[in-house]
């Protein structure tokens, strides 16, 4: 295997591990959200990454009047 090919595979593996870890803790990818919004809801505004992250955390762990809990 050539070095550029090995580096490409290593970077692809790293991205996949990051995606897997995010999904394990309930954090979907921002890029996936943006693509979905552009494809399915082009008339709606897309949240910034910071807004998306905060909204996902609140949905997952509580907020906006919900009682927080770990399990």
Whether residue 71 has pLDDT greater than 70: no
Provide mean pLDDT across the span 31-56. Answer: 92
Identify the pLDDT of residue 64: 59
Is residue 9 domain-resident? yes
Identify the pLDDT of residue 30: 85
Closest to 38 (Cα-Cα) out of 47, 25, 29, 51: 47
Kindly indicate the confidence band of residue 56, based on its pLDDT and cuts at 50, 70 and 90. confident
Is residue 71 domain-resident? no
pLDDT in tens, 6-40: 999 999 999 888 878 877 766 678 888 899 999 99
- Spell out the residues 6+ positions from residue 58 whose beta carbon is closer than 8 angstroms to its own: 64, 66
- Spell out the residues 6+ positions from residue 53 whose beta carbon is closer than 8 angstroms to its own: 27, 30
Domain tally, the chain? 1
Range of the domain at 28: 3-61
Is residue 35 domain-resident? yes
Residues in the chain: 71
In angstroms, the Cα distances linking 23 to 41, 48, 70 are 23, 19, 17
Whether residue 52 has pLDDT greater than 80: yes
């Amino acid at each position: 295997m050539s070095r550029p090919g090995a580096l490409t595979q290593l970077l692809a593996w790293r991205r996949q591990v990051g995606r897997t870890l995010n999904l394990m803790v309930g954090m979907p990818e921002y890029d996936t959200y943006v693509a979905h919004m552009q494809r399915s809801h082009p008339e709606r505004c897309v949240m910034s990454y910071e807004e998306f992250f905060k909204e996902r955390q609140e949905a997952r762990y509580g907020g906006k009047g919900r009682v927080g809990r770990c399990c």
